[in-house]
Structure 1
Amino acid sequence: MSQTETTNEPVQVSNKYDGTQIKNAVDDEISRFYSKEQNFSQSHIHSDIKLLLGYLSCFIAGGSFLYEYKTSFNDALTVTTVCVIVYWAIQSVSFAYGYFVEKDELFAGTKKVDGKSTSTLKISGKIDKHSPIYQLCFSYTDIGSGKSVSQKVEPNVTTWFDTQGVLVQQAMDSDLSAYLSTLVQKLHQE
């Protein structure tokens, strides 16, 4: 099997009533469905920015350690203090970016036809810790006309899992496909 091929192992959670496990499993499957099944090119800008900030933090911590290693603790105290302050400033920026910019976004993608972008889809979601209801907000934009529509849905995600905690992909895919179809129909009605 080549590295680009993936196995179709079923997604399983140990407790289908644990909101965190469900959210993590469903988020990955939402991204899979819209990128693989519906041919949206997923945007990874949020991940890239957070990775950049994380790597920058690591380089600062590593640089501080290296400077202290080459000198002495007392000689490096000022540099270490500055590095610690800069490190926490970068971590604060990362937190603020996640809270104010990324928010609860699960998926952002663009559909291309013949190399030209035709539409965008953004999905954000929130699930309470002890609730099976996943609040999903879909936003669909037709780039050609500039029209946008939004829709909020609240599926009971436990219906997407069988009694063993295995994701029933057909049930989930059917619902996700219906949500997108409804958005497209809504867009063309306006």
Structure 2
Amino acid sequence: MAPRSRKPAQPNGKPAPSSPSPLSANVATLSDKPEAEGAPSALLAPVLEDREEVKVNNASVTEMKHACDDALKRFLSRPDLFKQIYTHTDVRLALGWLSVFVAGGTGLYGWKVDFENSKPGVWAGVILYVLLTLAQTLYAYFVEGDIVFVGKRKTFDKRIVTERITVTSRTIPSTPATAPAYALSLTYVCSAAGGKTLLGKGRAAAERGYNEFFDTRGVMDQERFERWVGSVVSPVMEGKSE
């Protein structure tokens, strides 16, 4: 019988340590490689901390949608992500407050001035109030639409880079075979030089049933929801979307 081969001994008589195989070396290298700082996938990780419980009536699709919209805003408007832009809200509030002031001023004018003399002013106030209310309604329907979040982020990579994201949401009604679902649609634009140089853009859409985020008591699984939102937004920011 042929003698078994032995490992070469070191001068002190101990066997020499075996060298790691190429496969194990590669695994160690990959596992020890840190994730790039500021990468979208890292920034969009769920917030693992104690938070208030979100509980809704899970028989109300409207309540579940509002809860998801609010959770999405909290998640994307973190300091290391996007700064929320309130342009649509500001426009609606401005039109609403103007209509309130016009209505109040018209009522006060009609009370101070006698009926016959106040007619032209009251009619003007009523017409202006109707126009402002109509403008607020049309703006909310045609301009703002289903938009729930608009955010902007500025970073510096040899130049100032501006990222802008717009997210819309809606509810897909239930069918005999499926539960009602929360549908997201987003657009993303990355630019430099004050918007003059386009660096990248993308869009994405996804949907998930509300029953995946709310249990039988109506309590929302916020971490699971944030993981899903991150999985939709991250590829767009990394330029891997359509």
Do the two structures share a fold, i.e. TM-score over 0.5?
yes
2:18 matched residue in structure 1: none
Q: What secondary structure is seen at the aligned counterpart in 2 of 1:64?
A: helix
**Deviations 1:69-116 (CA, angstroms, capped at 9, x unpaired):** 211233322211221111111111111111111111010001122594
Q: How far apart, in 1, do the equivalents of 2:79 and 2:210 lie? A: 20
From 200, 218, 234, the equivalent of 1:147 is 200
From 68, 73, 76, the equivalent of 1:34 is 76
From 37, 44, 56, the equivalent of 1:13 is 56
When residues 37 and 127 of structure 1 are mapped into structure 2, their CA distance, relative to the original with a 3 A threshold, is farther
1:135 and 2:177 aligned: no
What TM-score, normalized to structure 1?
0.86
Identity of aligned residues (%): 30
Q: How far apart, in 2, do the equivalents of 1:78 and 1:158 lie? A: 57
Contact 2:235 2:241 in 1 (8 A): no
When residues 18 and 189 of structure 1 are mapped into structure 2, their CA distance, relative to the original with a 3 A threshold, is closer
2:210 matched residue in structure 1: 157
- Give the C-alpha shift of residue 158 in structure 1: 2.3
Contact 2:203 2:241 in 1 (8 A): no
Count of matched residue pairs: 182
Q: What secondary structure is seen at the aligned counterpart in 2 of 1:155?
A: strand
Which one-letter code corresponds to 1:99 in the other structure?
Answer: Y
When residues 17 and 189 of structure 1 are mapped into structure 2, their CA distance, relative to the original with a 3 A threshold, is closer
Aligned CA-pair RMSD: 2.2
Contact 2:152 2:165 in 1 (8 A): yes
Q: What secondary structure is seen at the aligned counterpart in 1 of 2:187?
A: strand
When residues 172 and 189 of structure 1 are mapped into structure 2, their CA distance, relative to the original with a 3 A threshold, is closer
Structure having greater relative contact order (Cα 8 Å, sep ≥ 6): 1
**Deviations 1:111-168 (CA, angstroms, capped at 9, x unpaired):** 1225945311110111146552122101111123432111111111221112211111
Q: How far apart, in 1, do the equivalents of 2:227 and 2:60 lie? A: 23
Q: How far apart, in 1, do the equivalents of 2:119 and 2:213 lie? A: 55
**Deviations 1:43-81 (CA, angstroms, capped at 9, x unpaired):** 000000001001100110111111112112333222112
Q: What secondary structure is seen at the aligned counterpart in 2 of 1:59?
A: helix
Which one-letter code corresponds to 1:142 in the other structure?
Answer: C
Contact 1:17 1:158 in 2 (8 A): no
- Give the C-alpha shift of residue 170 in structure 1: 0.7
Structure with higher Rg: it is 2
Q: How far apart, in 2, do the equivalents of 1:87 and 1:93 lie? A: 10
What TM-score, normalized to structure 2?
0.69
1:183 and 2:236 aligned: yes
Q: Which runs of 5+ in 2 are unaligned?
A: 1-49, 193-197
Which one-letter code corresponds to 2:74 in the other structure?
Answer: R
1:112 and 2:165 aligned: no
Q: Which has the higher helix share?
A: 1
Q: How far apart, in 2, do the equivalents of 1:105 and 1:88 lie? A: 25
